[in-house]
Amino acid sequence: GEEAELGQFLAAVGEPPRDGPVAWALSRFQMGCGRRLESEALTDYLLALRALIDQGESSMALRVAVLCAEESERRRVQRRLELAQALERFVIGDGADDAYLEAVGADSPRTLVEEAERHLRALLRDVLCGYLDFDLRRVADELLLDQPEPFEIRAAALAHSPATAAGRPVGSAGPRFVREEDSPSPVHEDDEPLEGQFGLDDPGYWSAPV
């Protein structure tokens, strides 16, 4: 279950820092893993990513994409994180229904929450295991500024098996995440909506208008 997975993750990263943005982000990650509702967990995960990366919505999504995704997947990852933030605004009542539905379409909210959790888990793991510097904003900006194209990346080679693209040697192959449970969840158009968990009883809120 989720508690066992969280225990394995904490055991893998060893002794966490006691203060600072990374410690705070790790605490929010643990809170999110313990939430009963995914709508509550989403805010925990996004707050943790903002603490690690940036408060700005667009810049946070861009930096996470550069750090976490392979080149061919970066634009998709950036867009998915932007949608996760749109979902957060919708849940707290700060986004119009029509605007949210137009942006997210038929995607299940659950997949957006799961993807945000995976990226956060990967970044925390690589920072706490020493694959990435604690200043993730600086690392991401250096990777962006060093390249002629915004989404190219030439990270320095590192040993072992980092979870993020930025933490792995250039040209390395294989899965992005070390543990099997961290593999990306497929997006299915027929995913069941989370109307009960997100406080909305009408399934029409969670699928594109016909």
Prediction pTM value: 0.68
Residue-range domain boundaries for the chain:
17-180
With 90 as the cut, is the pLDDT of residue 136 above it?
A: yes
Quick: pLDDT tens for 145-158: 865 554 443 333 33
Quick: pLDDT tens for 39-94: 899 999 999 999 999 766 678 999 999 999 988 899 999 999 999 998 898 888 86
HEC string of 130-177?
Answer: CCCCCCHHHHHHHHHHCCCCCCCCCCCCCCCCCCCCCCCCCCCCCCCC
- For the ranges 19-28, 35-44, 45-54, 97-106, which has the lowest average pLDDT? 97-106
With 70 as the cut, is the pLDDT of residue 169 above it?
A: no
Secondary structure of the chain: what % helix, strand, coil (to 5)? 55, 0, 45
Q: What is the predicted pLDDT for the residue at 150?
A: 47
